[in-house]
Amino acid sequence: MHPSSASRRRFVRLAGAAALAAAAASAAWAQAPAWPDRPIKLLVGFPAGGASDLMARLVAERLGSALGQPVVVENRPGAAGTLAASLAAKSAGDGYTLLLASPTAITLAPTTMAGKLAYDPARDLMPVTMVNRYPLILVANPQLGVKTFPEFLARARTQPGKINFGSFGANTSGGLATEMVKVMGKVDVLHVPFNGGAPATQALLGGTVDLGFDTVVTALNNVKAGKLVPLAVSGAKRTSLAPDLPTVGETLPGFEADSWTGLMAPAGTPPAIVARIQAEIAKFLATSDARERFAGMGAEGVGSRPDEFAAYLREETQRYAKLVREANLKLE
């Protein structure tokens, strides 16, 4: 038999086998359920009514509309947000569980709760995208009788241990900001941590605590209503929503304590699903509606890629660890 004839027959056999394999793979793919084919759960580590909850419900609404399946917000408050993060870390990486993450459970907890976490954020959770960033506002109950941050410092220094400083959790960004004020401002105030932003705000409004850091999302309405007095913002620069309000850093140079929210998924979630979620969130954040909605909350939309978000989380984790170590903060 001529060699060329044998080669042609071998090629035909191989081509036929490849075609059968491709057909079988296509059939298997066609039979596999499309994602998502059922509701998606979005875990939030703080109670309903707080900033994280408001952010989560906006994200859930828009993501659910884009994916064609409901995204159901599940509030699981506890342990400064680490309970929800732990549940997400233990969930299946199938694209049906997401976490609305914040600094508390992801970049602060590895230092402030070292040895107590049931998960490793860098190992057990996958960054999807940073949704937004926003500063905190230091607000006071009017009964305290101070109208500026320097006035507060002066009062605290003459009345050591007499002023109560509330926060939405000892191991949260607000709690850390409180401890930073104590250390950098050289004041003795009583830090009273609560389990989330909503109860902390209620205590502040009711006069149980004298002042505290709150998110722009929830503080501005109370400020506009005259129920709370704004003293300063925590970020490196002033916020456009209150441009006349100075930063804490203008009095205490080097002070910076922004907050953020982002989406994370359990480790092992298929990269294609992670990419789809990130793309839908980025698409939403690019709209004028999203910019207006988040600006109204005092936040700036981000929509970063998974690798960009991962790099940011590594840097912030290291920065907070250095701060806590050098300032000898005890956030038990």
Render pLDDT for 223-272 as a digit per residue (tens, 0 to 9). Answer: 999 999 999 999 888 887 788 999 999 999 988 888 889 999 999 999 99
**Position 204 pLDDT exceeds 90:** yes
pLDDT band at residue 21 under the 50/70/90 scheme: very low
CB atoms within 10 A of CB 231: 24
User: Residue 116 burial (CB < 10 Å; 0-12/13-18/19+)?
Assistant: exposed
Judge residue 70's burial from the number of C-beta atoms within 10 Å of its C-beta, 0-12 exposed, 13-18 middle, 19 or more buried.
Answer: middle
Q: 13 in a domain, yes or no?
A: no
**Same domain for 165 and 101:** no
**Same structural domain for residues 117 and 265?**
yes
Comparing 18-22, 33-37, 109-113, 130-134, the range with the smallest average pLDDT is 18-22
Final residue of a structural domain among 250, 268, 297 = 250
pLDDT at 24: 44
Q: Is residue 71 part of a domain?
A: yes
Domain limits at 177? 136-250
- Asked which of 6-10, 121-125, 205-209, 254-258 is least confident by mean pLDDT, the reply is 6-10
pLDDT in tens, 27-40: 433 444 699 999 99
Q: What is the chain's alpha carbon radius of gyration, rounded to the nearest angstrom?
A: 25
List the one residue out of 65, 133, 66 whose CA is nearest residue 102: 133
State how many domains the chain has. 2
Mean pLDDT of the chain: 87
Whether the pLDDT of residue 15 is over 60: the answer is no
Whether residues 230 and 296 fall in one domain = no
CATH code (residue 190): 3.40.190.10
Query: pLDDT-based confidence at 181, cuts 50/70/90?
Result: very high
Do 177 and 203 fall within a single domain?
yes
Domain end among 250, 285, 319: 250
Q: Out of 231, 250, 269, pick the residue that ends a domain.
A: 250
- Please choose, from the candidates 167, 132, 151, 145, the residue with its C-alpha nearest in 3D space to the C-alpha of residue 46: 167
Q: What pLDDT does 235 receive?
A: 86
pLDDT digits (tens, 9 = 90+) for 114-151: 888 999 999 999 999 999 988 899 999 999 999 999 99
Residue 114: per-residue pLDDT: 83
pTM score, whole prediction: 0.73
Residue at 8 is within a domain? no
Distance between CA atoms of residues 86 and 100, nearest Å: 12
> One-letter amino acid identity for 2?
H
pLDDT at 305 over 50: yes
In a domain, 91, yes or no: yes
Say if 163 falls within a structural domain.
yes
> What's the CATH number where 108 sits?
3.40.190.150
Q: Give the pLDDT confidence of 51-106 residue by residue, as tens digits.
A: 788 889 999 999 999 999 999 999 999 887 899 999 999 999 999 999 999 998 99
**Higher local confidence (pLDDT), 174 or 19:** 174
